[in-house]
Structure 1
Amino acid sequence: MNYKLIAVDLDGTLYNDEPAISPATIQALIKAQEMGIRVAISSGRPLPGLFHARDALNLQKYHGMLVSYNGGKVVDTTNHETLYENAIPHELAVEVLKYLGNFPVIPMIDDGNVLYVTDKNAYRVREEALNDSMNCVEVSSLIDCLDFPLIKILTAIEPEKLPDVFKVIGKPYEGILDFVQSADFYIEAVPHGTSKATGLLKVCEKLGIHSDQIIAFGDAKNDLEMIKLAGHGVAMGNACDELKECADEVTLTNNENGIVHTLNHLIFS
């Protein structure tokens, strides 16, 4: 297969547990780009949370793509063109933010630059702001400060509580919003049908390539659609069981240069 796009999830995939991108992984992905293969970082993170990896992989030089917010926003790194953006309607966002008060979750929203929360010291808030390179602003009400397009609503929850909450939290909004688990402690709400796969399809349209020409790497449940879409879907060795079951290949873990291992036999051999 003549692969033309490598799509990589960020946390638990491109990043090892430090978290950092290993020199070997950087070298391999730059080598692939020098061969003419595009790279797309595909993550649940807001756009600024992808910039460190973008710069490390030199994506702006090689016309790479950023698929952020679990596919809710797609940007061309070279000309900064927004190829796609899908926001939650304002009235619906307000309704959902009220609804989340019924659950033991910590909602967080962002405008692409600032992360808004009602308690800076709440569970996972400081980590999220740091990981996404955003300023964290504490407000009395998320609803009152919502004067911008909201692409997703992120909620943090203690891992032991997540399974039971995840079973029920999205039921009133089936067919309207998708509630997805992006980590052991995150549940995210996005417009129905939004996924990393839909974001990558926008990339395919822009580049004039077929989904069969994608190699995709992931580790979590929010990577399922992307792995199924790709011509060669790869689950990291540390991936969840659901992803391993549907992947074309299970590679080494994110701490063992799993991306490099696969690219060596798939495109460099």
Structure 2
Amino acid sequence: MSYSMAASDWDDTLVPLGDTIPERTKAALDRIRADGVAMVVVSGRSVHGLRVQLRRNGISLDGLYLIALNGALAVRAWDDEVLFSHQLDPDLAARAARICAEAGAAVMVHHHDQLWTDRPEDFAVRFEAESNDLAPLLVGDFDALDFVPAKLLIGGENALLKPLCERLKSEFADEAEVMLSADFLMEFTAKGVDKGHALRGLCEAIGVPLDEVVAFGDNFNDIPMMKVAGHSVAVADGVRELLEIVDQVTAPSSECGVADVLDELFPSDPM
């Protein structure tokens, strides 16, 4: 099978969480892009946060597509053209935020280079703000926001988030998508907004058949993307539920697992 696009999660897939991209993985990305393969970074991070990460890791924006906020937004990285955007209903966002706050979790909303939150000192908020160069701003009532959020990011200890995730899935089954994206982070987006729907929408927008897409991931929020891609790959330290459904398992991000698969599926042309 010939593939024309590589779509990858960022944290703990391309890059070990809180670290920098391994040189061999970066070299593999540079090589396939130079060969004309379309590259998409698909993440729960905001566009601003992804740009920060790409800049820190020396990755060119030329020809690069970004799917951000767990599928709520897709842009062309090189010129900021928005390909699609999906916001939460403000009332829905406020209702979910109240439940999370009452449960003791930290609620976060991205807006450009700002991170609005009810718990600025929470460890998850500090991580999100520092790793994405975001300014944390205190909000006491999410009804008071003067913009429409694309998603809620909920932070807390895993023992808190797991049952809270199940509660939100049950209470908002017909209104929202809810899934864990890390041990300490949970995504809340509008119904039908996830990485899988976003990848499908991007491919339709730029004319790439889904069966020509290789997708890489490690966590629960990557599962929808794996289900639509032509070839799905999980890193070996990904969550069990993901490992059970993918076509291939590769080495962890710290061991350049994505590079291994890129070298296999997109071999260099012989001179």
* TM-score, length-scaled by structure 1: 0.94
> In the alignment, which residue of structure 2 is the partner of 1:181?
180
Q: How many residues align?
A: 267
**What is the aligned-residue identity percentage?**
28
User: Is contact 2:155–2:161 with CA below 8 Å preserved after alignment?
Assistant: no
Q: Is the 8 A contact 1:15 1:254 kept in 2?
A: yes
Aligned counterpart, 1:246: 245
3-state secondary structure, aligned to 2:148: coil
Q: Is the 8 A contact 1:6 1:216 kept in 2?
A: yes
2:83 is aligned with 1:78: no
**Alpha-carbon offset, residue 262 of structure 1:** 0.7
Q: 1:18 to 1:169 in 2, by over 3 A?
A: closer
Report the 3-state secondary structure (helix = DSSP H, G, I; strand = E; otherwise coil) of the residue aligned with 1:12: coil
Q: For residue 230 of structure 1, what is the aligned residue in structure 2?
A: 229
CA distance in 2, matches of 1:54, 1:75: 14
What amino acid is the match of 1:192?
K
Supply the distance in 2 between the matched residues of 1:127 and 1:101 (Cα, whole angstroms).
Answer: 18
Distance 2:162 2:95 in 1: 23
Counterparts in 2 of 1:1-269, with a 5 A limit?
Answer: 1-55=1-55, 56=57, 58-61=59-62, 63-144=63-144, 146-268=145-267
* In 1, Cα distance between equivalents of 2:108 and 2:196: 24
Q: Decide whether the 8 Å contact of 1:39 with 1:59 is kept in 2.
A: no
2-side partners of 1:264 and 1:148: how far apart?
43
Secondary structure of the residue that 1:108 maps to in structure 2?
strand
Instruction: Report if aligned partners of 1:72, 1:151 keep a CA contact under 8 Å in 2.
Output: yes
1:230-250 Cα distance to aligned partner (Å, 9 max, x none) = 111000011111111111100
Deviations 1:43-63 (A, max 9, x none): 0111111113444464432x1
- The runs of 5 or more residues in structure 1 that have no matched partner are none
Q: Structure 2 length normalisation: TM-score?
A: 0.93
- Bigger drift between 81-90 and 52-61 goes to 52-61
Give the Cα separation in 1 of the matches to 2:112 and 2:207.
28
Q: Cα deviation per residue 1:51-81 (whole Å; 9 max; x = unaligned)?
A: 13444464432x1100001110000112211
Structure 1's 185 and 8: CA in aligned 2 closer, same or farther, altered over 3 A? same
Distance 1:17 1:91, change over 3 A: closer
State the distance in 1 between where 2:245 and 2:94 align. Answer: 36
Q: Is the 8 A contact 2:40 2:66 kept in 1?
A: yes
Q: 1:91 to 1:165 in 2, by over 3 A?
A: closer
What displacement does 1:26 show?
0.8
- Higher mean C-alpha displacement, 9-18 vs 46-55: 46-55
CA distance in 1, matches of 2:71, 2:198: 4
Q: Does the CA-based 8 Å contact 1:59-1:65 persist in structure 2?
A: no
- Residue 20 of structure 1 aligns with an amino acid whose one-letter code is T
Aligned with 1:167: secondary structure? Answer: helix
In the aligned structure 1, how far is the partner of 2:100 from the partner of 2:132? 23
